[in-house]
Amino acid sequence: MLVLLKDEYMSEQSIEQEVELLNEMLFHVESMDNFCKAHEVFDLNRYKIYQKSKQIIQVVRQREIRPFQFVSNKN
């Protein structure tokens, strides 16, 4: 978990710099590949668990997840 703390001694420029660094870090960490490594899909309609990246991406990119399909974090 990343937290941005606003301190009374921080200038506007230092806050902007910290936000930019956090955005840059999150851009690399929050990729679809990392998402697929950390999640799996439970499909209770077919009684299957999807753990392959291609299958997870197909489910997540649907407009609406079908009833009884659950995206679950492995943690």
Q: What is the pLDDT of residues 36-64, one digit of tens each?
A: 999 999 999 999 999 999 999 999 999 98
Query: Does residue 3 belong to any structural domain of this protein?
Result: no
Q: Given the structure tokens 């490594």, which residue do they identify? A: 37
Query: Does residue 2 belong to any structural domain of this protein?
Result: no
Q: How many domains does the chain have?
A: 1
The pTM is what? 0.65
Tell me the two tokens of residue 37. Answer: 């490594």
Q: Which domain holds residue 46?
A: 32-75
Rounded Cα gap, residues 14 and 6, in angstroms: 10
Cβ-in-10-Å burial (0-12, 13-18, 19+) of 53 comes to middle
Query: Does residue 14 belong to any structural domain of this protein?
Result: no
Rounded Cα gap, residues 19 and 35, in angstroms: 22
